[in-house]
């Protein structure tokens, strides 16, 4: 019985020795420093190098260095360089003695930040009875510098870039048992394959495998004769860090060499660890995650999700359902084990969904039936429990909770229970989350019923109702507008008399544009002296300017019309001349006296300019002043008269203060007020019953809108005939009634001068503006 036990212990001890030897071989860059005493009388050549081959690792050998030298001073740094000739394999050591501790040596490899220290191993003191002079000597031993068997290694020892000693060494060939194939593996991550180049003259076995702690699990294996084919392409099933290539000779018990090109590579998305892994259920409470690289520690984030249907690409995440891993195992004893309840693994930038549960593990079931305005949640359970339901809106990979939680209790013996969940109006992506709340289970079932056709029916019905309502409102509005428009078009128009106050071309053009606009846009009966003068009717020529004007004023006022006088600086001057000529500039106190004086002055002025003026403008204007002054002094207080000023030609401040009781309009700014006043005159005052009517606001609103629209049209017509830049204020506009005006004698001289120029008032075509109605329409259109 002792034989097998002793043999087993021996085998275990041998394995431990081999493991320690292997660790010592691979424990590269180990430095040992010994301090010895040497006979000073004995001649020695220092420093001295000794190189040897100690161990083999496949085709590579461990080259050891022994350096015998004098102790290193505290302020010196020793540099040792290793260089394998023919290839780029070199190593540089920097050695320095400790400054504060003389028994410590600091050393490191060049281009590496890590430093190491070793204690100086000292031998016992010298024998004092021996009459021999001795000195301290250091012996440095460094192992090992890995080089290929048969190659040449050059070693140099330097002190402050000064070479102390150098030597070359040929590395021994490894024994037959230590030899491994010479090859090179080049990974191609994008194409997912390895390219293996094998040195010629070799017959080897090659394997693609997953490397674990002890073995390399084979994926594929093949035999290669490098004389026939030196390059082999290996297609990779997954990009994982433990995917390796293993090579060895075809002999019995040949040494194997493994290369893992992806071990230190940065794989896209963390590699394909999740897609190559699997999830296995043990019993009903433990899930174990298995992957191909157990030697590498992965820590994925795991949470529950609901898959609407089997093998569906989308899995809706469930909030607050994270599972904790322990030794690659998950406790799922309190998880709802429905077949559509899955686990979503997240690792770096990749994720994977696993659905390990089956239908026989679930203890309850639910169905959702859609209605027009609500959802009917029907539950069935094999055990007494409490269930809850809540609406949510699905957005992407989550379902945001909405509304309140509905709860129902199922007692023992109850099989089917129904809950009603009210739906909000016109909300898309609606689902319902159902879960067991007591005894509580983690995970929620997210059910999205197909009630689109029901909701679309409501949408179509509501759209039809809205369309019918809008159509009805449009028809009623159109009929009302048409009715009001027809009433407005068919209403009896009351006349408007327009009077010019000067013969200036711009003034007459603006007045004609206003008259034509009122006639065309408002369809009003506009009366203008220039039109009556050029018309076929001879009433103006037969009656004379003043009688014609008095007759027109009487006709307009008798039917409720309005007389509009286009004011100008010359009109102000004319008015002031009459006021100054009356009693030395004093304003009369009696209206009848003022009327007689103005009529007398108007007739006198008309007789003086019958043969001198080029138009009847002055006579008509003087007669209109007489009528306006009489109306202003009467009980009507100027009602039925209006003063019109044009921007750029005159202003309201040109109107004397005695005439401020007359309505004033500055055009085109006050066009809306003027048209509204004329519109009221056209329709006439409303009756008392009509004002009490509920619908009286509608005609007024229509009238306001129409006035604004017509004012915009008339403003565009007037802008074409008014100056582009504001005219400078005429100094005559600034005259006051008390200022001195030209005397009667000066006016008579001016009239005689005009007679000498033979300007006949009937010669309209030579110096006045053409005011024929057809010509004005063509010009303004």
Q: Which residue has the higher pLDDT, 771 or 36?
A: 36
Report whether pLDDT(155) > 90: yes
Q: Which helix (H) or strand (E) holds 366?
A: strand 364-370
Q: Which CATH class is domain 363-453?
A: mainly beta
Three-class secondary structure of residue 267 per DSSP:
coil
Q: Does 23 score more than 80 pLDDT?
A: no
Distance CA 690, CA 48 (A): 132
Q: Which bin fits 595, alpha (ψ -120 to 50), beta or left (φ > 0)?
A: alpha
Cβ contacts of 121-129, under 8 Å, gap ≥ 24? 121/32, 121/33, 121/34, 121/35, 122/34, 122/35, 123/34, 123/35, 123/36, 123/37, 126/37
For residue 413, what pLDDT is reported?
Answer: 64
Residue 9 has pLDDT above 50, yes or no: no
Indicate the pLDDT class of residue 465, thresholds 50, 70 and 90.
Answer: very high
Residue 486: φ, ψ to 5°: -65, -40
Question: Model confidence at 196, in pLDDT bands (50, 70, 90)?
Answer: very high
pLDDT tens per residue, range 295-343: 788 889 999 999 988 777 789 999 889 999 888 899 999 999 999 999 9
Most confidently predicted of 539-553, 587-601, 759-773: 539-553
Domain 27-176: which CATH number of 2.30.280, 3.30.160, 3.40.50, 2.60.40 = 2.60.40
3 state DSSP class of 72: coil
**Per-residue model confidence (pLDDT) at position 729:** 45
Q: What does R_g of the chain's alpha carbons equal in angstroms?
A: 59
More confident residue, 654 or 769: 654
For 215-247, the pLDDT digits (tens) are 888 899 999 998 888 999 999 999 999 999 999
Please report, rounded to a whole number, the percentage of residues in the chain having pLDDT higher than 70.
73
633: pLDDT strictly greater than 90: no
> Is residue 605 over pLDDT 70?
no
What is the pLDDT confidence band of residue 749, given thresholds at 50, 70 and 90? low
Predicted confidence at residue 330, as pLDDT, reads 93
Instruction: Specify whether the CB–CB gap between 20 and 109 falls below 8 A.
Output: no
Task: Pick the range with the lowest mean pLDDT from 47-56, 228-237, 274-283, 582-591.
Answer: 582-591
User: What is the reported pLDDT for 235?
Assistant: 93
Q: Which helix (H) or strand (E) holds 188?
A: strand 183-188
pLDDT at 598: 45
589, pLDDT greater than 90: no
Task: Read off the tokens for 768.
Answer: 């006045």
pLDDT given at position 697: 60
pLDDT at 445 over 70: yes
Residue 459 has pLDDT above 70, yes or no: yes
Does 519 or 210 have the greater pLDDT score?
210
Q: What's residue 742's pLDDT? A: 45
Task: Tell me the average pLDDT across 77-97.
Answer: 87
Is residue 741 pLDDT above 50, yes or no? no
pLDDT tier at 27, thresholds 50, 70, 90: very low
- Residue that wins the pLDDT comparison between 777 and 579: 579
| 379 preceded by a cis bond (ω within 30 of 0) | no
- What does the alpha-carbon distance between residue 671 and residue 722 come to, in Å, rounded to a whole number? 14
d(C-alpha 133, C-alpha 336), whole Å: 89
pLDDT average, residue stretch 242-270: 85
CATH of 495-685+710-723+730-776, one of 3.20.20.10, 3.40.50.300, 3.40.50.11530, 3.40.50.2000: 3.40.50.11530
Residue 473 is predicted with a pLDDT of 92
pLDDT of residue 573: 82
| C-alpha separations of 721 from 140, 360, 500, 507 in Å | 114, 95, 15, 9
pLDDT value at residue 489: 59
CATH architecture of 180-259: Sandwich (2.60)
Predicted confidence at residue 234, as pLDDT, reads: 93
Per-domain residue ranges of the chain: 27-176, 180-259, 268-359, 363-453, 495-685+710-723+730-776
DSSP for residue 440? B
Higher-confidence residue of 43 and 546: namely: 546
The mean per-residue pLDDT over the stretch 410-431 comes to: 76
* Residue 354 predicted with pLDDT over 50: yes
Q: What is the mean pLDDT of the chain?
A: 76
Average pLDDT over residues 263-285: 85
Does the fold of domain 363-453 match that of domain 27-176? yes
DSSP H or E segment with residue 281: strand 278-282
* pLDDT over 90, % of the chain: 17
Cβ 125 vs Cβ 107: under 8 Å: no
pTM assigned to the model: 0.47
Q: What is the mean pLDDT of residues 351-379?
A: 86
- 198-221 pLDDT, tens digit per residue, is 988 889 999 999 998 778 888 999
Mean local confidence (pLDDT), 615-643: 81
Q: Would you state the pLDDT for residue 259?
A: 92
Give the separation between CA 596 and CA 559, rounded to whole angstroms: 26
Q: What is the pLDDT of residue 699?
A: 59
Does residue 439 have a pLDDT over 70?
Answer: yes
The helix-helix angle for 697-719 and 505-521 (nearest 10°) equals: 150
Q: Provide the pLDDT for residue 10.
A: 43
Rounded average pLDDT over 167-184: 83
Mean pLDDT of 246-263: 87
- Whether 377 has a pLDDT exceeding 80, the answer reads yes
Q: Is the pLDDT of residue 186 over 80?
A: yes
Max mean pLDDT among 70-74, 691-695, 748-752 falls in 70-74
Q: At residue 426, does pLDDT exceed 70?
A: no
């Amino acid at each position: 019985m002792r034989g097998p036990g002793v043999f087993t212990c021996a085998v275990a001890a041998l394995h431990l020795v081999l493991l320690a030897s292997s660790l010592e071989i691979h424990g590269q860059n180990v430095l040992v420093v010994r301090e010895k005493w040497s006979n000073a009388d004995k001649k020695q050549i220092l420093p001295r190098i000794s190189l040897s081959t100690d161990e083999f690792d496949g085709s590579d050998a461990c080259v050891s260095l022994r350096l015998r030298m004098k102790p290193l001073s505290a302020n010196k740094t020793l540099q040792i360089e290793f260089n394998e000739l023919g290839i780029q394999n070199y190593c540089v050591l920097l050695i320095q003695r400790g400054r504060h501790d003389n028994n410590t040596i600091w050393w490191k490899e060049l281009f590496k930040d890590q430093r190491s220290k070793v204690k100086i191993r000292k031998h016992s003191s010298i024998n004092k009875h021996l009459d021999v002079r001795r000195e301290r000597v250091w012996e440095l031993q460094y192992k090992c510098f890995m080089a290929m068997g048969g190659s040449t290694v050059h070693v140099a020892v330097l002190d402050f870039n000064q070479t102390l000693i150098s030597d070359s060494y040929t590395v021994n060939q490894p024994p037959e048992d230590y030899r491994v194939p010479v090859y090179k593996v080049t990974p191609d991550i994008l194409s997912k394959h390895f390219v293996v180049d094998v040195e010629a003259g070799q017959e080897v076995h090659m394997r693609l495998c997953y490397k674990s702690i002890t073995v390399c699990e084979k994926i594929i294996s093949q035999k290669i004769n490098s004389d026939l084919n030196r390059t082999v392409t290996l297609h990779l099933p997954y990009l994982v860090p433990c995917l390796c290539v293993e090579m060895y000779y075809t002999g019995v018990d040949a040494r194997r060499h493994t290369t893992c090109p992806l071990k230190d590579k940065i794989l896209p998305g963390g590699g394909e660890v999740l897609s190559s892994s699997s999830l296995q259920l043990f019993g009903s409470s433990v899930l174990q995650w298995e992957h191909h690289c157990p030697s590498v520690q992965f820590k994925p984030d795991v949470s529950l999700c609901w898959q609407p249907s089997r093998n569906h690409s989308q899995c809706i995440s469930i909030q607050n359902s994270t599972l904790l891993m322990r030794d690659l195992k998950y406790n799922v004893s309190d998880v709802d084990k429905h077949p559509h309840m899955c686990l979503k693994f997240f690792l770096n930038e990749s994720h994977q969904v696993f659905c390990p549960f089956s239908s026989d593990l679930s203890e309850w079931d639910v169905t959702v039936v859609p209605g027009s305005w609500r959802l009917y949640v029907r539950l069935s359970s094999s055990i007494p429990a409490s269930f809850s339901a809540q609406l949510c809106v699905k957005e992407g990979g989550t379902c945001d909770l909405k509304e309140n939680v509905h709860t129902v209790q199922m007692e023992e013996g109850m099989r089917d229970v129904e809950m009603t969940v009210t739906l909000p109006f016109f909300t898309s992506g609606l689902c319902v989350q159902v879960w067991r709340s007591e005894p509580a289970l983690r995970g929620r079932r997210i059910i999205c019923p197909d009630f689109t056709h029901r909701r679309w029916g409501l949408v179509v019905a509501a759209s039809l109702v809205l369309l019918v309502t809008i159509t009805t409102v449009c028809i009623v509005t159109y009929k009302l507008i048409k009715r009001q428009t027809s009433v407005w078009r068919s209403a009896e128009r009351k006349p408007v008399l327009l009077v010019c106050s000067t013969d200036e071309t711009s003034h007459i053009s603006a007045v004609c544009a206003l008259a034509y606009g009122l006639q065309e846009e408002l369809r009003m009966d506009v009366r203008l002296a220039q039109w009556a003068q050029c018309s076929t009717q001879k009433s103006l020529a037969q009656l004379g300017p003043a009688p014609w004007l008095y007759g027109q004023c009487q006709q307009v006022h008798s039917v409720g019309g309005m007389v509009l006088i286009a004011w100008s600086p010359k009109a102000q001057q004319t008015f002031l001349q009459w006021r100054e000529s009356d009693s030395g500039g004093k304003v009369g106190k009696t209206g009848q006296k003022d009327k007689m004086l103005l009529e007398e002055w108007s007739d006198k002025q008309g007789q003086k300019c019958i043969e001198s003026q080029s138009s009847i403008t002055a006579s008509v204007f003087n007669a209109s002043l007489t009528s306006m002054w009489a109306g202003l002094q009467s009980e009507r207080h100027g009602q039925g008269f209006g003063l019109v000023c044009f921007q750029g030609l005159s202003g309201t401040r040109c109107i004397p203060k005695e005439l401020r009781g007359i309505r004033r309009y500055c055009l085109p700014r006050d066009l809306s007020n003027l048209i509204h006043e004329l519109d009221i005159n056209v329709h006439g005052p409303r009756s008392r019953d009509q004002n009490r009517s509920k619908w009286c606001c509608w005609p007024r609103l229509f009238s306001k809108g129409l006035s604004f629209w017509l004012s915009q049209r008339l403003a565009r017509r007037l802008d074409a005939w008014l100056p582009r830049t504001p005219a400078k204020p005429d100094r005559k506009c600034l005259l006051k009634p008390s200022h001195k005006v030209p005397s009667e004698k000066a006016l008579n001289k001016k009239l005689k001068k005009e007679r000498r120029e033979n300007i006949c008032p009937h010669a309209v075509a030579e110096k006045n503006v053409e005011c024929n109605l057809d010509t004005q329409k063509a010009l303004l259109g």
